């Protein structure tokens, strides 16, 4: 029963393919290159990373299938060594510094507006507030929420409440 399952469950395409050592090496190198494309150019789990895994696994599989265990072990070992050495080389050759961002983020996550804007301060709606939109207060743009249902652009507004980074305004009709 076991032999019947083994013979009938194998993929017929893989069963009948014969690969040369050059094709196996090409698949493994292509897989490693696709890994680096995944890490450096297209971050995340994408087609390049999945294709890289498939290429390396298929290359090592055919190395074992075509040439037996000793050569398959050499192919697997050399694949691991080439992968590790290339990662070490990339880390030491300042590759990450060449592709990394050089700018610094100097903004703050949340600045309290309670010190900058007082209740009763008047301004003007820049965009329609329904209920959120942009307002100009003291010649600076802020995101605000309307107490009224909707405030049209260029309508005079007044600050009714300031809670942390949220400004609540009312129309001065």
Q: How does pLDDT run across 52-111, given as a tens digit for each residue?
A: 989 999 999 988 988 888 988 999 999 999 989 887 877 776 766 666 667 777 766 666
Burial environment of residue 168 by CB neighbours within 10 A (0 to 12, 13 to 18, 19 or more): middle
Claim to verify: residue 90 and residue 143 sit in the same structural domain: no
Q: What is the pTM of this model?
A: 0.48
**Buried (b) or exposed (e) across 70-109, using 16+ Cβ within 10 A?**
eebeebbeebeeebeeeeeeeeeeeeeeeeeeeeeeeeee
Per the structure block, which two tokens stand in for 93? 């050759």
Determine, yes or no, domain membership for 162: yes
CA 130 from chain center: how many Å? Answer: 33
* Model confidence at 8: pLDDT above 60: no
Which residue range forms the structural domain that includes residue 23? 2-99
**How many other C-beta atoms can be found within 10 angstroms of the C-beta atom of residue 36?**
16
Determine, yes or no, domain membership for 73: yes
* Model confidence at 48: pLDDT above 90: no
Determine, yes or no, domain membership for 149: yes
User: pLDDT category, 172, cuts 50, 70, 90?
Assistant: confident
């Amino acid at each position: 029963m076991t032999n019947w399952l083994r013979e009938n469950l194998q993929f017929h395409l893989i069963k009948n393919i014969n690969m040369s050592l050059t094709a196996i090496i090409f698949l493994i190198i292509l897989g490693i290159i696709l890994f680096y494309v995944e890490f450096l150019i297209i971050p995340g789990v994408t087609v390049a990373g999945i294709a890289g895994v498939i290429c390396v696994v298929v290359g090592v599989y055919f190395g074992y299938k075509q040439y037996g265990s000793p050569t398959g072990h050499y192919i697997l070992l050399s694949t691991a060594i080439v992968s590790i050495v290339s990662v070490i080389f990339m880390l030491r050759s300042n590759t990450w510094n060449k592709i990394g961002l050089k700018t610094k983020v100097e903004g703050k996550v949340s600045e309290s507006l309670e010190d900058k804007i007082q209740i009763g301060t008047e301004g003007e709606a820049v965009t329609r507030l329904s209920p959120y939109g942009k307002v100009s207060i003291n010649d600076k743009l802020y995101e605000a929420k309307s107490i009224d249902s909707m405030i049209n652009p260029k309508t005079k507004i007044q600050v009714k409440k300031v809670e942390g980074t949220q400004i609540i305004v009312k129309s001065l009709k």
